[in-house]
Structure 1
Amino acid sequence: MKLVEISGGRVLLSDRRTGRKWYVDVDDFRLADVVVTQAVYAEVTGERPSTSAGDELPVENVAWWDAVRFCNVLSEREGLAPAYELLAEEAARWDPAADGYRLPSEAEWEYACRAGSTGPQYGHLDEIAWYRGTSDGRPHEVGGKAPNAWGLHDMLGNVWEWCWDFYDPEVYGEYRVLRGGGWFDQAWSCRASVRRRSHPTFRIDDVGFRVARRSA
Structure 2
Amino acid sequence: MSRKRKAVILAAVLVAVGCYADVFGTGTNQFSIDFVLIGNADNSADANGYGAVDYDYRIGRTEVTIDEFAKARAADSLISDGDEGYWNDGTRTVGGGGPASYVSAYEGMKFANWLTTGSAIGGAYQFSGDGLTLLAVDRAAAVSTYGTVYVLPSEDEWYKAAYYKPINDGTYSLFANGSDELGDLTHGTTEGWNYYSSGYVNGFPNYMWEAGFGGPEQNGTYDMMGNVWEWCESAFDGSTNNPVADRVYRGGLATAGYGFLRSTSRNGFNPAADGNEAFGFRVAAIGATPVPAIVVSINIDSAVGIEWSSISGQSYQVQYSTNLVSTNWFDLGGVISATNATGYSVDYSTGVSHRFYRVISD
- State TM-score, norm by structure 2: 0.53
Q: For the residues of structure 1 that align with 2:174 and 2:50, how far apart are their CA atoms? A: 17
- RMSD over aligned Cα atoms: 2.5
- Counterpart for residue 132 of structure 1: 196
Q: Which of 116, 129, 137 is 1:93 aligned to?
A: 137
Whether the 8 Å contact between 2:104 and 2:273 is mirrored in structure 1 is: yes
Aligned length, in residue pairs: 207
Give the structure 1 partner of residue 328 of structure 2. none
Tell me, which stretches of 5 or more residues in structure 1 are unaligned?
15-20
1:123-202 alignment, distance < 5 Å: 123=177, 124-126=184-186, 127-133=191-197, 134-137=200-203, 138-168=207-237, 174-202=245-273
Native 8 Å contact 2:225 2:253 kept in 1:
yes
Distance 1:36 1:93 in 2: 21
Write the mapping of 1:42-53 to structure 2, written as runs, cut at 5 A: 42-46=70-74, 47-53=82-88
- Segments of structure 2 that go 5 or more residues without pairing to the other structure are 1-32, 75-81, 89-94, 166-170, 178-183, 290-362
Cα separation, partners in 2 of 1:157 and 1:26, compared to 1, 3 Å: farther
Once residues 27 and 132 of structure 1 are traced to their aligned partners in structure 2, the CA distance between those partners, rounded to angstroms, is 35
Contact 1:110 1:193 in 2 (8 A): no
Q: CA deviation at 1:86?
A: 2.0
Amino acid at match of 1:113: A
Write out aligned runs for 1:18-97 (5 A).
Answer: 21=49, 24-46=52-74, 47-53=82-88, 54-77=95-118, 82-87=123-128, 89-96=133-140, 97=142
Partners of 1:168 and 1:153 lie apart in 2 by 27
Query: How has the CA–CA distance of structure 1 residues 110 and 169 changed in structure 2, closer, same or farther, with 3 Å as cutoff?
Result: closer
Q: Deviations over 1:20-55 (max 9, x none)?
A: x46734421111100100000000013452322120
Q: Percent same amino acid among aligned pairs?
A: 27
Whose radius of gyration is greater, 1 or 2?
2
Deviations 1:121-143 (A, max 9, x none): 13332244211125335111011
- What's the TM-score once normalised by structure 1's chain length? 0.85
How far residue 181 of structure 1 moved from its aligned partner, in angstroms, is 0.7
131-140 or 107-116, larger mean C-alpha shift? 131-140
Structure scoring higher RCO (CA < 8 A, sep ≥ 6) equals: 1
CA distance in 1 between partners of 2:126 and 2:60 (Å): 22
Q: Find the residue that maps to 1:210 and give its secondary structure.
A: coil
SS of 1:119's equivalent in the other structure is coil
